Structure 1
């Protein structure tokens, strides 16, 4: 089964030529007709062969037992996973079943190997249970017994997209405010923003707004309102809701865009300052924990080994542990923390 989405081919026709009115009617007194750009057409997004196999195998089973899960549907939409909840569940069932069967097969061959080696029967039974039964039960319990964990992957992907949107929102606000200063209409602003790949996930959000207005015939305010509801970023949601509120209340969008661009720029500066303070604290901790403390510890343990002849073997073993494990692990720990901070930033 294929899910349907809308896409459009690029066209050289300008946006001013995509909307027209009935001949002889005044624009203020008639409904607007939408003329799709040249080359615009619905595109069928087909499932991959693996997804099709999962749907053919578990589609009927999932549909017979499926209960509406709005949170899962919203997370799939926010993560831009082009699957319906039923299709996602069918794929999850197939993956979990294959994992459980693989665990049983591995356990069977391991038990056979232990039997050939004439291991004890209790060892064979325990090994089979630990490798086959426990992973199988845990797999089904995690994916289908706990509803919160069931939607963990789409929610995690949506959260990741939200962070990517937050990274690019300051630059995109500068782009939007610059176009608004030139009195460019809102729909054209989002259309041009969708053509800028440098803005990453923000450009994809703008592309969905343009899709709604140009292909689905939705007015620009409704398209922005829908985009605010499905956006994974709270900052972008707040911005889009502000656009709708400002427009419906009769306000001017140009001052609003300029104000939001300045606000996001200030927030970025504050966030950068906090990040630098955190890095400074980590640097001080690194010098204390990884450099000074192991150095003093090594010196003290070396002196103890020279003074105490009876405990010299134990002290030397402990010294090897400090030098071979404690110092490298602590260094890699600090490196991972700093790398993770940079990735989030």
Structure 2
């Protein structure tokens, strides 16, 4: 029990802004009001990714990080100009390019992070939905209401997105005093467009119209399970292609290359300025392991995580 409480406490700390983010907000907030209306897409991405950082705090963090990156780029370029003894014109150009490049690159990268988080969250939800819809239907069959369903899922000790969303809905109901429809509607605004948001919208419509939630979840589960089967079938076909690539790149290609280099060594010990023994070593210890790593990463991205 103590371990569970400690894990929840640690998770709660992770779901809060860092000290640096809070410091940047206190330092720059009064100067950034003009910038907030210019970043509507960033605000939407932060909301849909369920990041534990308010929009204003994240923007202040972006600006302060960009300023620090500009200072670091300035110091680095000045040091480089002194070391290489550049001309004044070249030094000025290098300083401008280095400082502006570091600052702009930091700002752009931090602006992309929420969008990446939205895509990651959408992918996780798509994987989890087929497994949780059946659970929701079972809870409905046991006599629980829509509110009881989310509260039951919120009690699960898991880090999955559906469980976190259920905890969010439960918090809205129990702490903020929302009704279940308003709480789920708030969750829909923070959810990427896709099957999960459609599921929540359908649940609200069914609940409001007095329909049978169990039948709704069962019908939706059938659709998602069929889509899951199609997705798994496509993944299997893709893995078949990866198996052929594995055979070509890690078995056939090294053997053919070694045979060709061995035959060429009889006529000429060098190829393009390289010793053929060196080329064989590069093939064995660099190219083949590199191909293996690339194939492993590709297969890991294709295999469903659950």
TM range (shorter): 0.7 to 0.9
Residue 156 of structure 1, aligned match among 103, 113, 116: 116
What is the match of residue 23 of structure 1?
Answer: none
- Per-residue CA deviation, residues 261-293 of structure 1 (Å, 9 max, x unaligned), is 233233323222222221121011110122102
- Per-residue CA deviation, residues 100-139 of structure 1 (Å, 9 max, x unaligned), is 1112223333444x2xxxx5434x9757854x43232124
C-alpha displacement of 1:48: 3.8
Work out whether residues 166 and 233 of structure 1, in 8 Å CA contact, stay in contact via their aligned partners in 2.
no
Structure showing greater relative contact order (alpha-carbon pairs closer than 8 Å, 6 or more residues apart): 2
Q: Which moved more, 1:214-223 or 1:196-205?
A: 214-223
Work out whether residues 69 and 106 of structure 2, in 8 Å CA contact, stay in contact via their aligned partners in 1.
no
CA distance in 2, matches of 1:101, 1:295: 52
What is the match of residue 244 of structure 1?
Answer: 204
Once the two structures are superposed, the pairs formed by residues 5-84 of structure 1 within 5 Å of their partners are: 48-67=18-37, 69-84=39-54
What is the match of residue 257 of structure 1?
Answer: 217
Bigger radius of gyration, 1 or 2?
Answer: 1
Residue 170 of structure 2, aligned match among 202, 207, 210: 210
What is the match of residue 14 of structure 1?
Answer: none
2:283 aligned with 1:283, yes or no?
no
2:135 aligned with 1:175, yes or no?
yes
Structure with more helix by fraction: 2
The two structures have a TM-score, normalised by structure 1, of 0.74
The two structures have a TM-score, normalised by structure 2, of 0.82
C-alpha displacement of 1:150: 6.3
Cα pair distance change 1:243/1:296, threshold 3 Å: same
- Per-residue CA deviation, residues 25-45 of structure 1 (Å, 9 max, x unaligned), is xxxxxxxxxxxxxxxxxxxx9
- Aligned-residue RMSD, C-alpha: 3.0
What is the match of residue 137 of structure 1?
Answer: 100
What is the match of residue 85 of structure 1?
Answer: 55
C-alpha displacement of 1:247: 2.9
Work out whether residues 25 and 57 of structure 2, in 8 Å CA contact, stay in contact via their aligned partners in 1.
yes
- Per-residue CA deviation, residues 161-214 of structure 1 (Å, 9 max, x unaligned), is 222222322222122111111121111111111111336110111122222233
2:260 aligned with 1:300, yes or no?
yes
- Secondary structure class of the residue paired with 1:329: helix
- Per-residue CA deviation, residues 77-104 of structure 1 (Å, 9 max, x unaligned), is 2222233322211111111111111122
Cα pair distance change 1:142/1:311, threshold 3 Å: closer
Give the gaps of 5 or more residues in structure 1: 1-9, 11-44
What is the match of residue 121 of structure 1?
Answer: 86
C-alpha displacement of 1:50: 1.5
What is the match of residue 76 of structure 2?
Answer: 106
CA distance in 2, matches of 1:171, 1:199: 15
